[in-house]
Chain A
Amino acid sequence: MFLARIEGTVVSSTKHPTLDGCRFLIAQRLEADGTAGLEPIVIIDWLGAGNGSTVLVSTDGDIARARLGNTTPARMVVVGIVDDLQTRKSAMRGNA
């Protein structure tokens, strides 16, 4: 699992059938020093994470398989929205 900052949304009309109706967000992984990763990631969100919020992303596909079926290629899923984060100097704060 890792923390990521939501940057926006992704729209797709052609996708794997198990992904129909899913909400896709584009996010950047947060490193320990508060910087963002180089490559953006696309994650599935069922919790309603907003733009700019920091979320906890799980890369285990089991939660997606339980919800979308055994044949889903979904993997990265928002499992929580960060309310408060305490680190030294709040280094990993999403708005850092």
Chain B
Amino acid sequence: MRLGIVRGHVVLNPAVTAFRGKTLVVLEPVTMENLRGGGKSLIAIDALGAARGQIVAFTEGREAANPYWPNAVPVDAYCSLIVDSINIQP
């Protein structure tokens, strides 16, 4: 999983039926420099209710659709957890 800062939300209308009722967030991946943003932004499905400014860890690839198994949902990024704190000891 990579880490990303929630920068906003996306509303789709119309959308494929598999996306109905799902929340989409705009994520800015963080870099190791003070965990600030800077990565290429992407859109992920968020079922946890992350607010703008929070850091989430998101899964990419085939595993991003696992939470909807056995339904087929065209997802390639999924917010798996909202970060409370990161403890880095040098």
Contact (Cβ within 8 A) B39 A8: no
Chain B residues whose CB sits within 8 angstroms of the CB of A28 once the complex forms: 32
A72 interfacial by beta-carbon distance below 8 Å? yes
Please indicate the chain A residues that have their CB under 8 angstroms from the CB of B26 in the complex. none
Whole-angstrom distance between the Cβ of A61 and the nearest chain B Cβ: 4
Q: Within 8 Å of chain B (Cβ to Cβ): is A86?
A: no
Q: What are 27 A-B residue pairs whose CB atoms fall within 8 Å in the complex?
A: A7-B88, A8-B87, A9-B87, A10-B81, A10-B85, A11-B86, A12-B82, A12-B83, A14-B81, A15-B82, A19-B80, A26-B3, A28-B32, A36-B32, A39-B30, A40-B30, A42-B1, A42-B57, A51-B89, A61-B66, A71-B67, A73-B66, A73-B80, A74-B80, A75-B1, A75-B59, A75-B60
**Are B57 and A12 interface neighbours, CB within 8 A?**
yes
Q: Which residues in chain B, 62-90, are within 8 Å of chain A measured between CB atoms?
A: 62-64, 66-70, 78, 80-89
| Dominant secondary structure of chain B at its interface with chain A | mixed
Q: Is A90 an interface residue (CB 8 A)?
A: no
Q: How many B residues touch A, CB cutoff 8 Å?
A: 35
Shortest distance from the beta carbon of A90 to any chain B beta carbon, whole Å: 21
Contacts of B2 on A, CB cut-off 8 Å? 39-42
Q: Mark A7-25, 1 if CB is under 8 A from B, else 0.
A: 1111111111001000010
A19 CA to B50 CA in the complex, in Å? 17
Known: A39-B32, A40-B3, A73-B78. A11 touches B57 (CB 8 A): no
Contact with A along B1-35 (1 / 0, CB 8 A): 11100000000000000000000000001111001
- Given A61-B62, A72-B66, A73-B66: A11 and B84 interface contact (C-beta under 8 Å): yes
- B42 located at the interface, meaning its Cβ lies under 8 Å from any Cβ of chain A in the complex: no
